[in-house]
């Protein structure tokens, strides 16, 4: 049986797994990255060791056809190089792909993590059956991937579909990229925390009685589940920004659907109404009732499930 390894490296943790050709995850694990404390070499050594033991544990040695790596940041997919990654400090021009390929004696393909997420959802998740699809990950930042005509679209420079840096509010918050009012400044988990604290300072109605610095996106998820008005307003605003960004994406490309994931994508149900309201009021080229805009079905498994698609 042919299987693939998937590895998704983020600033907090690295998730990895063994995946069959249909995208089903057979075995999965994770290890803490703590990129602010550990150097790239240390993390890469641990990845080699952990992936090696997963192969041994599953007795999969000769069956593994390749390793697919997803990494956040600016990467060169063809060369397997991380040029720079805001959530992986010190990773400048790191030849991650070639190093893992040599150590594990496997063909390696690398992609932006949001691209790998989109491939996974397209192959066997919420985007299955759609040949024109956008993937959006709402996490520490906001990432994106595009499937066009049944293929991942990379653009001529290997960098495209940076949905997080589409401008939604021209005079909005400053973004890490240098621009203002990018989707990432309005709909990432980081942005949700900022909005929540701003509303708290402004005296917005809420049942939250803790310290302002303890109000995180995770706390906001829990509060929204209890119908807290402040938390619901945070997701209302994030959903609105997402709806505006999706309008531009669909108007530009005439897609069949979009899958929303990432850590903060877990609050999709609280964002859905304002997102869809904004989208259906504004969108021009597609019938909002006929396109599929849904939450990720695979969650953390999505980037791993994308591994076989990367080798097709
Ligand atoms: Zn930006």
Query: What is the Cα gyration radius of the chain?
Result: 19
Query: In this predicted model, what pLDDT tens digit does every residue of 245-267 receive, in sequence order?
Result: 999 999 999 999 999 999 899 89
Q: How far apart are CA 108 and CA 311, in angstroms?
A: 9
Residue 227, Ramachandran bin (φ over 0: left; ψ between -120 and 50: alpha; else beta): left
Torsion angle of C-alpha atoms 253, 162, 101, 94, degrees rounded to 10:
160
Nearest residue to 266 via CA among 225, 304, 227: 225
Helices 40-57 & 96-104 angle (0-180, nearest 10): 40
Q: What backbone phi and psi angles, to 5 degrees, belong to 84?
A: -160, 145
pLDDT in tens, 56-109: 999 998 899 999 999 988 888 889 999 988 778 889 999 999 999 999 999 999
Instruction: Report the separation in Å between the CA atom of 272 and the middle of ligand 1, taken as the mean of its atom positions.
Output: 23
Ligand 1: centre distance to CA 86 (Å): 12
Cα of 164 vs centre of ligand 1, distance in Å, is: 6
Centre of ligand 1 to C-alpha 132, Å, is: 24
Which two three-digit tokens encode residue 187? 């709909």
Q: Separation of 119 CA from ligand 1 center, angstroms?
A: 23
Euclidean distance between CA atoms 51 and 67, whole angstroms? 9
CA–centroid distance, 206 to ligand 1, in Å, is 30
41 token code pair = 């070499």
Per-residue pLDDT of the chain (312 residues; tens, 9 = 90+): 999 999 999 878 899 999 999 999 999 999 999 888 899 999 999 999 999 999 999 999 889 999 999 998 888 888 999 998 877 888 999 999 999 999 999 999 999 999 999 999 999 999 999 999 999 999 988 999 999 999 999 888 877 899 999 999 999 999 988 999 999 999 999 999 999 999 999 999 999 999 999 999 999 999 999 999 999 999 999 999 999 999 999 999 999 999 999 989 989 999 999 999 999 999 999 999 999 999 999 998 999 999 999 998
Residues around the ion ligand 1 (C-beta < 5 A): 165, 175, 177, 179, 182
Structure tokens at 304: 């791993």
The rounded Å distance from CA 161 to ligand 1 centre is: 12
CA of 175 to the centre of ligand 1 (A): 5
CA 57 – ligand 1 centroid, Å: 42
- What is the 48 CA–ligand 1 centroid distance (Å)? 33
Q: In what order do the strands lie in the sheet with 13-20?
A: 25-32, 13-20, 3-9, 64-71, 108-112
Interval between CA 287 and ligand 1 midpoint (Å):
29
Q: How many helices (H) and strands (E) does the chain have?
A: 10, 12
pTM, two decimal places: 0.93
> Hunting for tokens 């149900």 — which residue is that?
269
């Amino acid at each position: 049986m042919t299987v693939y390894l998937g590895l998704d490296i983020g600033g907090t943790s690295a998730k990895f797994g063994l995946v069959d050709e249909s995208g089903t995850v057979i075995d999965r694990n994770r290890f803490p990255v703590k990129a602010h404390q550990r150097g790239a070499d240390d993390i890469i050594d641990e990845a080699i060791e952990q992936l090696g033991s997963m192969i041994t544990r599953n007795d999969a040695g000769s069956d593994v056809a390749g390793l697919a790596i997803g990494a956040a940041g600016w990467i060169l997919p063809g060369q397997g190089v991380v040029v720079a990654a805001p959530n992986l400090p010190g990773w400048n021009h790191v030849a991650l792909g070639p190093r893992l390929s040599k150590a594990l004696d496997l063909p390696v393909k690398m992609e932006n993590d949001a691209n790998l997420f989109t491939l996974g959802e397209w192959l066997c998740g919420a985007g299955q059956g759609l040949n024109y699809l956008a993937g959006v990950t709402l996490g520490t930042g906001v990432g994106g991937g595009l499937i066009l005509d049944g293929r991942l679209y990379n653009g001529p420079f290997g960098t495209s579909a940076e949905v997080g840096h589409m401008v939604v509010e021209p005079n909005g918050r400053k973004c890490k990229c240098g621009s203002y009012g990018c989707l990432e400044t309005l709909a990432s988990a980081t942005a949700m925390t900022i909005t929540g604290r701003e509303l708290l300072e402004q005296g917005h109605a809420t049942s939250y009685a803790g310290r302002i610095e303890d109000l995180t996106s995770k706390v906001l998820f829990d509060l929204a589940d209890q119908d807290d008005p402040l938390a619901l307003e945070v997701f209302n605003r994030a959903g609105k920004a997402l709806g505006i960004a999706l309008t531009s994406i669909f108007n530009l490309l005439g897609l069949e659907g979009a899958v929303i994931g990432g850590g903060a994508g877990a609050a999709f149900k609280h964002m859905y109404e304002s997102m869809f309201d904004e989208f259906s009021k504004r969108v021009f080229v597609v019938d909002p009732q006929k396109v599929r805009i849904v939450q990720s079905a695979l969650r953390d498994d999505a980037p791993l499930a994308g591994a076989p698609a990367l080798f097709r």
